[in-house]
Amino acid sequence: MNGMASVPTDPTTLGKVAVLMGGESAEREVSLMSGGGVLAALRSSGVDAHAFDPAERPLLELATDGFARVFIALHGRHGEDGTVQGALELMRIPYTGSGVMASAIAMDKVMTKRVWVAEGLPTPRWLWLAPGAQTRDELVRVPDTLGLPLIVKPPREGSSIGISKVMGYSQMQDAVTLAAQYDADVLCEEFIDGIEITCPVLGEGDAARALPVIRIDAPGGNYDFEHKYYSDDTGYRCPSGLPPEEEAEAQRLTLAAYRALGCRGWGRADLMLRTSDRRIFLLEMNTSPGMTGHSLVPMSARAAGISYEQLCVKLLAEATLDHPAPLTGRR
């Protein structure tokens, strides 16, 4: 893959860099692993990089301590939902990844689906259950609409946290109760029987490019938190082994989904390839993907000829703001 020309030949010109990691979301542990990897990669490349945990230090210290830019390795709430992005906008410190609006929409799977449906992009059918709609009478109607099995998940969490596969009516209450521990709202989604795939993206707008697709083979089709980050039982295929036309379609849909949400910098779409008709469905867009030893963006980047260190420096070099130019109208 080309596109490495935008990476400075001298990473020391990037200034003092904070790698945001940890935080207070349910994905804190994963974020610490991601941030540790990014920090080591940047330092080995000559970047003046420092760890910064927002759970332990006020964000304002990013400005008072003279950080020139930020690599966001936070996951989940207050990390990839637009809130920390907004704080960095106010401090005028460029950061990696998507801006405020795209981060906020992509973090909310219901809002993401609404945008994709409006753009004519394929995503599994769903029902949104607000807190007042999580009654027994409402829950038994969900399988009637979506069929069985179905998926129940919190709409604003990642890393497969709080997700259940519901096989029968009797399991609905427990699944909704679990999801509601992480989010007041609950998302119920049509189950797509098929192959789980994921596709990373680098860049912005028309210049954005999809990286090679990864096929995920989890034991029993259960790609949960344990299998994502700790187990060596999960198989990853990159190249995916899919027919070229299916690989190209997954990349096309990923780019369309990424652009529809207004993402920039980098991201990763999770998709399902339905076995029955080979149709591809978009599940979600991750705007601050994992960068751990098991993570998928570095794996795909390697297949495209980009090392982990090159990837980290490239993303950092492209750090920006929603509105880089000085705001007018100040008094």
Q: Which of 22, 27, 76, 215 is catalytic?
A: 27
Residue among 71, 153, 66 at smallest CA distance from 109:
153
Does residue 159 carry a catalytic annotation? Answer: yes
Residue count of the chain: 331
Q: Which two tokens stand for residue 277?
A: 């008709």
Q: Which residue, chain included where needed, has tokens 């789980």?
A: 196
Does residue 241 carry a catalytic annotation? Answer: no
Does residue 284 carry a catalytic annotation? Answer: yes
CB atoms within 10 A of CB 55: 13
Q: How far is CA 115 from CA 69, 104, 137, 262, in A?
A: 30, 12, 29, 11
d(CA 113, CA 285): 10
d(CA 300, CA 270): 13
Does residue 229 carry a catalytic annotation? Answer: yes
Kindly tell me the sign of the dihedral angle through the C-alpha atoms of 89, 91, 94, 98. Answer: negative
Q: How far is CA 280 from CA 232, 236, 269, in A?
A: 27, 18, 12
Q: Which two tokens stand for residue 52?
A: 């910064």
Q: Which of 69, 268, 300, 308 is catalytic?
A: 268
DSSP 244-311: HHHHHHHHHHHHHHHHHHT--SEEEEEEEEETTT--EEEEEEESS---STT-HHHHHHHHTT--HHHH
Q: Which of 98, 159, 240, 300 is catalytic?
A: 159
Residue among 266, 271, 263, 312 at smallest CA distance from 292:
312
Q: Which of 37, 82, 267, 290 is catalytic?
A: 290
Does residue 290 carry a catalytic annotation? Answer: yes
Does residue 318 carry a catalytic annotation? Answer: no
Catalytic residue numbers read 27, 159, 229, 268, 270, 284, 286, 290
